[in-house]
Amino acid sequence: GFARIDTHRALRTGDPEVVYAAGKTTEQVAAIVKHLTSANPNRPILVTRADEAARAAVRAACPDGHLLEDATGRCVALGPLPEIPRGRVAVVCAGTSDLPVAAEATFTARVFGAAVEQITDVGVAGIHRILAARPALDRADAVVVVAGMDGALPSVVGGLTGVPIVAVPTSVGYGAAFGGLAALLTMLNSCAPGIAVVNIDNGFGAGLYGARIARQS
């Protein structure tokens, strides 16, 4: 087999099994999903970075399963997904172009058990927009903030809430954005406390992290 599929990790952490579809053929993705469902029919599965073809292959592989899908976030999930959410995550997104990363975070947080509230297009260049979103921030147990270009949004959100913030830099931008490096450095150097950072474009990691915080509440 082309991969040592780790069915024990899921049990150990209490989380779904995750398949990262980027760089895998649709055949490989479908075969892994099939293997996982037959090995552990009661364990949910999340497939990320799955384009339309990969998602179709998953759909075909699991004709009868409970299937949740998000085209913007390029994700699909199978199996007995969490029914009663544990805790609440707010996913805050700076600009329209950051939406795919935000959608990946939202989808992942849900599959990992959280209730999610998504707030979009609240970049700091129009500060009234994020100020208007304070009620949603106040309701959350964890906040995921997604921003490209200058990556300034988490610093502002950090001044508005006392719950942990997971900052996700995106590769949106050009020139001296250097593929997300500018936003990444901004977030690591935030003048507001209570911010931790995941890799550029890693909506999956942020959603999982937010859900893990929220479920402690």
Ligand X SMILES: Nc1ncnc2c1ncn2[C@@H]1O[C@H](COP(=O)(O)O)[C@@H](O)[C@H]1O
Binding residues among 72-101 for a second copy as defined by CB under 8 A: 87, 94-97, 99
Contact call for residue 31 and a second copy (CB under 8 A): no
Output the smallest distance, CB 50 to ligand X, in A: 10
Contact call for residue 135 and a second copy (CB under 8 A): no
Q: Which residues bind ligand X (CB under 6 A)?
A: 3, 18-20, 48-49, 95-96, 193, 202, 204-205
3-state SS of the chain is: CCCCCCHHHHHHHCCCEEEECCCCCHHHHHHHHHHHHHHCCCCCEEEECCCHHHHHHHHHHCCCCCEEEECCCCEEEECCCCCCCCCEEEEEECCHHHHHHHHHHHHHHHHCCCEEEEECCCCHHHHHHHHHCHHHHHHCCEEEEEECCCCCHHHHHHCCCCCCEEEEECCCCCHHHHHHHHHHHHHHCCCCCCEEECCCCCHHHHHHHHHHHHCCC
| Residues 151-180 interacting with a second copy (rule: CB under 8 A) | 151-152, 155-156, 158-164, 166, 169, 171-180
Output the smallest distance, CB 214 to Mg ion, in A: 26
Output the smallest distance, CB 74 to ligand X, in A: 9
| Residues 86-125 interacting with Mg ion (rule: CB under 5 A) | 121
Closer to a second copy by CB, 13 or 39: give it: 13
Q: Which stretch binds a second copy (CB under 8 A): 9-17, 37-45, 58-66, 76-84?
A: 9-17
